[in-house]
Each structure stands twice: as C-alpha cells, then as structure tokens.
Structure 1
Amino acid sequence: MKFVMVHNNFNVRDLDKSIAFYKEALGLEPGRRIEPEDGAFKIVYLEDGNSNHQLELTWLRDWDRPYNLGDNEFHLAFKVDDYEGAYKKHKEMGCIVYENPNMGIYFIADPDGYWLEIIPLHR
C-alpha cells in the first residue's frame, strides 16, 4: 500500500485576498476550482508549478468570524532558490512573523494568520 500526499487545506475569509497573497508571496497560481451552484463554498487549488502538491483554499459563504488557529503550531514549508531575495520581498510585504537566523529560516503569515516556513533550497 502506497500513499502520496496531494494537498493541504486552509480555510480563508477572503478568497481573492488570499489568492493574491499566495501569488505575490510564493508564486502560487490558481488551478482547479470547485464552486457549487448554491454558492455555499468555493475551493481553489493553488499550485507551485514545480511539484504535484497543492494548497487548497476553502471559502465558506456563511462563515462570519476569523478562524481559530489555536496556538498556530502547524505550518507549511517552502524551499526557495533565492532566500535573500525572498526575505527582502517578504520584509517589504510586512508578512514576516518570526525569524530564526541560527536555523537559517523564517516564517511569514497569510491574511488569515496561517504560518508558512521559508527555507533555503540547499539546507
């Protein structure tokens, strides 16, 4: 029996704002969409163009409050080939929430507060 990871899900309050953030911050592009006729939810799968793993963003029409992320001790990690350039971009965007220079990593947060770890490609 063999399992393959295909996607992670984040529920978001403003789908367009989240898509724009992920495109600017990480170069992710929207792929497949699911939108039922009743408009109760929308799902957009974001892709990096390099792997088969996707980030599923889910918007729920009737959700009226920020998502409770608890202690936010979970995250997604991204390796980047230009760590210094990414750091500069994220600093300019104001989305860096934690830095660990000793480990050579940092974290950014999306509009809903989900953390994303940035790692140099050759680490």
Structure 2
Amino acid sequence: MKFTFDHNNINVLDLDKSVAFYKEALGFEEVKRYTHDDESFILVFMEDGTTGHRIELTWLRDRTEAYNLGENEFHLAVKTDDFDAAYDFHKNMGCICYENKPMGIYFINDPDGYWIEIIPARM
C-alpha cells in the first residue's frame, strides 16, 4: 500500500481575493472549481504546474468571521529557484510576516492570515 500527497485545504473568507493572492504571490493557477448545487460552498484547486500538488481553497457562503488559526503553527512551504528575487517581490507586495535570516527562509501570509514558508531550492 502506498500513499501520495494530493492536496492541502484551507478555508478562506474572500475567494476572489485569495485566488488572486496565490496567483500573484506564488504563480499558482486555478485548475479546478466546484460549486455545490445549493451554492453553500465553492472549492477552488490551485497548483504550481510542476509538482501536481494542489491547494484547495474552500469558501463557505455562511461564514462571515475570520477563521481562528490558533498560534499559526501550521503552514504551507514552497521552494523557489530565485530566493533573492522572490524575497524582493514579496517585500514589495508587503506580505512578508516573518524572516529567519540565519536559516535562510522567510514567511508570507495570505489574505486570511495563513503563513507560507518560502525556501530556497537548495534546501
């Protein structure tokens, strides 16, 4: 028996804003969208175009308050082939929320406050 990663899910308050963020900040593209028959929720799957791993953005119609992310210890991590350019790009976007210079990584946060670790390809 073998298991492989398929996707990670996060819930979002503003689906359009989140889709735009993941497209701009990370270059992810929407590859699938599912709207439930009663329109109570929408699922949008985005991927990097390379690995096949997807992020599922879930929008719930009746949700109005921000999600409780606790201490935000859970995060996604992505590698970049040009760490310095990515850092400058995210700095200009204003989405860097934490830097760990000794480790050579930093984190950005999405519109809902989820953290995404940016790692140089060499790690």
TM bracket, shorter-chain basis: over 0.9
Q: RMSD of the alignment, in Å?
A: 0.5
Shift of 1:37: 2.1
The reply to whether residue 6 of structure 1 matches residue 6 of structure 2 is yes
Q: Secondary structure at the match of 2:73?
A: coil
Structure 2: 5+ residue stretches without partners: none
Q: What is residue 58 of structure 2 aligned with on the other side?
A: 58
* 2:35 match: 35
Amino acid at match of 2:109: A
Once residues 64 and 19 of structure 1 are traced to their aligned partners in structure 2, the CA distance between those partners, rounded to angstroms, is 18
Aligned to 1:73: 73
SS in 2 for 1:55: strand
* Separation of aligned partners in 2, 1:13 and 1:36: 17
Q: Hey, what does 1:48 align to over in structure 2?
A: 48
Task: Please identify runs of 4+ aligned residues in structure 1 that moved more than 3 A.
Answer: none
Give me the TM-score of the superposition, normalised by structure 2. 0.99
In 1, Cα distance between equivalents of 2:33 and 2:59: 11
Residue deviations 1:14-72 (CA, integer Å, cap 9, x gap) = 00000000000000000111101211000000010001110000000000100000000
Instruction: Provide the residue aligned with 1:92 in structure 2.
Output: 92
Unpaired runs of 5+ residues, structure 1, are none
Q: What residue number does 2:105 align with?
A: 105
Percent identity of paired positions between Structure 1 and Structure 2: 63
Partner Cα distance (1:64, 1:49) in 2 = 32
TM-score, length of structure 1 as denominator length: 0.99
For 2:122, the equivalent position in structure 1 comes to: 122
Query: Secondary structure of 1:73's partner?
Result: coil
Report how many aligned residue pairs link the two structures.
Answer: 123
